[in-house]
Structure 1
Amino acid sequence: MNTSTKAYEQLLIRLKQASLLASCSAVLEWDEQTCLPPEGAEHRANQLALMAGLVHEQATNTEIGDLLEELESNSAWDEDSYEQANIRESRHEYDRVTKLPRRLVEELSRVGTLSHHAWVAARKQNSFNDFLPWLEQMIDLKREQASAIGFEGNQAYDALLDEYEPGATSELIEQAFLPLRKELVKLVAEIQNSGVTPDISILTRSYPIDKQREFSLDAAEKIGFNFEAGRLDIAAHPFCSGIGPGDCRLTTRYDEHHFPGAFFGTLHEAGHGIYEQGLRKEFFGTPAGNSTSLGIHESQSRMWENLIGRSRAFWNVFYQPAQEMFPEALSTVKIDDFYRAINDVRPSFIRVEADEVTYNLHIMLRFELEKALISGDLSPVDLEAAWNEKFKEYFNLTPDTPAHGCLQDVHWSAGLIGYFPTYALGNMYAAHFYQTAENELGDLNHLIEARDFSSLKNWLNQNIHRHGKRYRANRLVEVVTGNTLSHLPLMNQLKQKYSELYNL
């Protein structure tokens, strides 16, 4: 065994130990979201803060730095090899985490837990002021984090964005969003002026929750989520937690009088879960066994939720079972009317329930606001007013309650600042991947109508999931599709679909 091989094996041992400990925290976090009694929040915050400190201690062990230096000096692995990816991405993460004092890491965890529970309560009470002190604490901590990590120019936000989309910057995000926003605004206007108005009251009839759960579970399983290696539970905000090989947890939320929320939310989280289950188990704990970025992760969830789940081909398969499951709501509804209802386009308050066309505008709004919060151009106390003003600008609507406005998302309470842009990037990545998959597999609608979901799932496993962090996101798009990231595939798909639905 040569020196480099021995050092590499020692590096993997260190990385996997830290990841194993982090997975223990993930179980506590899942339990917090799904099972924790309200009075247990403070104790859980202390537990998670301790765990965050222990994970940080392992991840910043000087032996990791020494091993990386040795490998960087002697590595003979190919640039695109899994080994080189582990070295490159481990260096990137090590340099980030070693700049953060353990005190700050623990405080971010502790405040994040308490802030989350405060957000849940404030959202129920529709009281932004109840959440404001926690938001102020979190923004201060995230600014401190950005300062510790460091950044170029005056964009502290970039230090936070890099955690979720490595290598991305505010400038690159803005360049990607600008042409997308321009075309989306035009398409929304054309749809609103079309004179076509789907009957969305179909979706707010009575859909018993136990039947919704049964129907959603069946759909998630059919598209490829393995429930022998995962489960579905209820949480205030849907999420997916890939705890480790063989253990992937999904959550959703139900409303008896809003069918799309739980159903498409479950498909979305199942898409995340299929990605987690497609990562190579033998690489657990290393970058090669972790997702490329959150933007790529979102491409998988948004693909199954929208490009597949809202397609006519999908409902040619699932509509009759839906009518049988919900006879009171759907027995007299034609499939064409149902299909138009689930693809209705109109400005609305709630991001997770937004249609494909307006969804990215919700993301752009949040991107602008959280950048301003971190830079100091926007004070937390003014967030509600700023949100309502910008929402009016984007959607010509003013939120009627904080729960329909700045309190609707969990992200800021948990300190997930820099996360939001990955949703829109995910839609763009998904369009690229879908187009390439169709070029290689043939008409995906025909496969879906033949109840063949495994061909696409296996294609995604082979072309995206198994790579882990072998490539950065933009490089992965080039490797898989042969093209650089562009808004055009997404806009072409949206224009084609909605031109037919709205007679444009």
Structure 2
Amino acid sequence: MTGGGPDAYEAFRTRVERLTNVSHASRLLDWDQQVMMPDGGTTARSSQLAALSGLEHDLLCDRELGQLLDDLEGADLDPVEAANVREIRRRHDRSVKVPASLVERTRQARSDAFDVWNAAKADDDFSAFADTLAELVELRREYADHLAPDRDPYRVLYEEFEPYLPYDRMVDVLDTLRAALPPLIDAIRDSDVTLSKRALSGTFDPSRQEAFVRELLTDLGYDWERGRLDTAAHPFQRGSQFDARIGTRFDESDLLDGVTSTVHEFGHALYVQNLPDEQYGMPTGEARDMSIHESQSRFWENHVARSRPFWERTLPLAREQFDSLAGVSADEMYRAANVVDPENVIRVEADELTYHLHIVVRFEIERALVRGELEAEEVPAVWNDKYEEYLGVRPKTDAEGCLQDVHWSNATFGYFPTYSLGSVAAAQFRSAFEADVGALPEVLSAEGFDPVADWLREHVHRHGKRYRTDDLIKTATGEPLTADHYVSTVEAKYTDLYDL
């Protein structure tokens, strides 16, 4: 190594590992707030998280870290070391533009907002959350203004979650889906074939659902020594390769909701558990940004958990808990898991076609909020209008409408598009898997889940942030991100299901 020399890189590594440990401690406190913290703990927890966010910001902005980054510029680093320097350089250069006081105020506001949102949702009272939402939007506008005062603030915030897929390409993907999916959905509406959710509907005791999905997670390959499962108001995943935790939820009247929520979060957790242990604390030991993270959850949720072989393998586990499934076939479960229902207003329960229209609604609203084109109190009416426009249905309550997602209470404006980007990437990864290994349904039927996990570990997980997003996709699949594989996959699948 020349240039900065090995001593400079080791000093850099030591500082970054400390920074990462502070970040991970913050994530675990956030996990605790959503899962186990007493109801009265918010005041102290908000202060704790604000303090850790301030410390993380200080470590990232530290002058000595900046000097080490300068020293390592042009150094003869190996590819992993160079990627670590690249990623921290980007974060450092953005963070030094933002006052620590704003970081701490935002973190405290986010922590406070979670309880406000949770109560507003429980009470079906958006007005109780409106002022909090307005405050969070203003804080994020201020953040974007510090980073790039002359740029569209929403583009700046989007880059927090997906720095390496340009905003215009994201919009192109959403436009492609918005053009391709409605004709397919309309054809399904007009089809003589009607799929029934009956096999997955009934009364399913949540404690028995949890016992079922625990067995399912074991079969999928979840490492319980490095993870745990809990229930939460909104499904989520937190942690590192040594401690990747899943939060899920169960609907007593809908078995599919608990299955897909858990398998979705398993996709995130498996990605994290398969990150390289030896790079813990460094960017190459972290997941690539949210589009890739979501590609992993959407792969397992849609391409695996909504497949016929999945239910052939999983139904016996479900029957151990629910006698009502004794006379239900795997084919009935498969068809029930793939009902296209445009009248469903809940995003996390949506089928894989209408799901993207849910994302478009959120993208358009949060972009308007951040740009100052929409006020917080106007959100419910605009939300309901857009649901009627895109899905032909109006939510009956704000709890099932604009209060259904936790994301805005966490000030994650710019995050929602990554769900659709992830879905597109998941289909592209599936095509590459099938070219390398064989047709996914046949592999699942013959060999179970291990070949899928092994392929994803080799082509995606083990790289961490070594590659930029498009480079990682191209390395794994042979081409940059494209929506073509998603569109062709769903057209073939639903043409068969609905005899179009």
Match of 1:44 in 2: 45
Match of 2:298 in 1: 302
5+ residue gaps in structure 1?
Answer: none
Root mean square deviation, CA, Å: 1.4
| Percent of paired sites with the same residue | 39
> Can you list the C-alpha shifts for 1:52-109, whole angstroms capped at 9, x where unaligned?
111111111111110111111x31236xx11111111111111111111111111111
- Counterpart contact for 2:113–2:409, Cα < 8 Å: yes
Match of 2:341 in 1: 346
Match of 2:499 in 1: 503
Match of 2:261 in 1: 265
User: AA paired with 1:37?
Assistant: P
- Counterpart contact for 1:122–1:128, Cα < 8 Å: yes
> Can you list the C-alpha shifts for 1:381-425, whole angstroms capped at 9, x where unaligned?
111111111111110111100011100000001111111011000
Aligned to 1:402, the other structure's residue is in SS state: coil
Where in structure 2 are the equivalents of 1:303-318 lying within 5 Å? 303-318=299-314
Which of 371, 386, 391 aligns to 2:387? It is 391
Distance 2:267 2:438 in 1: 21
Where in structure 2 are the equivalents of 1:209-248 lying within 5 Å? 209-242=206-239, 244-248=240-244
User: AA paired with 1:456?
Assistant: V
User: AA paired with 1:77?
Assistant: L
Match of 2:106 in 1: 108
Match of 1:165 in 2: 162
- Counterpart contact for 1:157–1:170, Cα < 8 Å: no
Tell me whether 1:57 sits opposite 2:58 in the alignment: yes
Match of 1:190 in 2: 187
User: AA paired with 1:270?
Assistant: F
Match of 1:143 in 2: 141
Match of 1:95 in 2: 93
Q: How many Å apart are 1:450 and its aligned residue?
A: 2.7
294-303 vs 162-171, greater mean Cα deviation: 162-171
Match of 2:14 in 1: 13
5+ residue gaps in structure 2?
Answer: none
Distance 1:191 1:228 in 2: 44
Q: How many Å apart are 1:354 and its aligned residue?
A: 0.3
Aligned to 1:400, the other structure's residue is in SS state: coil
Aligned to 1:249, the other structure's residue is in SS state: strand
User: AA paired with 1:335?
Assistant: A
451-460 vs 353-362, greater mean Cα deviation: 451-460
- Counterpart contact for 1:216–1:263, Cα < 8 Å: yes
> Can you list the C-alpha shifts for 1:436-455, whole angstroms capped at 9, x where unaligned?
01111122222211343111
Tell me whether 1:77 sits opposite 2:77 in the alignment: yes
Q: TM-score, normalised by structure 2?
A: 0.97
- Counterpart contact for 1:151–1:159, Cα < 8 Å: no
Aligned to 1:403, the other structure's residue is in SS state: coil
Match of 2:289 in 1: 293
User: AA paired with 1:15?
Assistant: V
Distance 1:333 1:288 in 2: 45
Where in structure 2 are the equivalents of 1:280-429 lying within 5 Å? 280-328=276-324, 330-347=325-342, 348-429=344-425
Tell me whether 1:134 sits opposite 2:135 in the alignment: no
102-111 vs 168-177, greater mean Cα deviation: 168-177
Aligned to 1:248, the other structure's residue is in SS state: strand
Distance 1:170 1:129 in 2: 32
195-204 vs 87-96, greater mean Cα deviation: 195-204
Match of 1:200 in 2: 197
Tell me whether 1:23 sits opposite 2:19 in the alignment: no
Distance 2:35 2:392 in 1: 36
- Counterpart contact for 1:187–1:495, Cα < 8 Å: yes
Aligned residues: 498
Q: How many Å apart are 1:32 and its aligned residue?
A: 0.4
Q: How many Å apart are 1:151 and its aligned residue?
A: 6.0
Distance 1:70 1:110 in 2: 35
Q: How many Å apart are 1:362 and its aligned residue?
A: 0.8
Which of 471, 478, 481 aligns to 1:475? It is 471
81-90 vs 115-124, greater mean Cα deviation: 81-90
- Counterpart contact for 2:216–2:317, Cα < 8 Å: no
Distance 2:38 2:464 in 1: 36
Aligned to 2:225, the other structure's residue is in SS state: coil
227-236 vs 36-45, greater mean Cα deviation: 36-45
Tell me whether 1:276 sits opposite 2:272 in the alignment: yes
Q: TM-score, normalised by structure 1?
A: 0.96
Q: How many Å apart are 1:327 and its aligned residue?
A: 1.2
Q: How many Å apart are 1:169 and its aligned residue?
A: 3.8
- Counterpart contact for 2:165–2:469, Cα < 8 Å: no
- Counterpart contact for 1:99–1:149, Cα < 8 Å: yes
Distance 1:169 1:146 in 2: 16
305-314 vs 204-213, greater mean Cα deviation: 204-213
- Counterpart contact for 1:312–1:339, Cα < 8 Å: yes
Distance 1:404 1:301 in 2: 23
- Counterpart contact for 1:238–1:253, Cα < 8 Å: yes
Distance 1:200 1:396 in 2: 20
218-227 vs 414-423, greater mean Cα deviation: 218-227
- Counterpart contact for 2:164–2:470, Cα < 8 Å: no
> Can you list the C-alpha shifts for 1:100-143, whole angstroms capped at 9, x where unaligned?
11111111110101111000000000000011111011011010
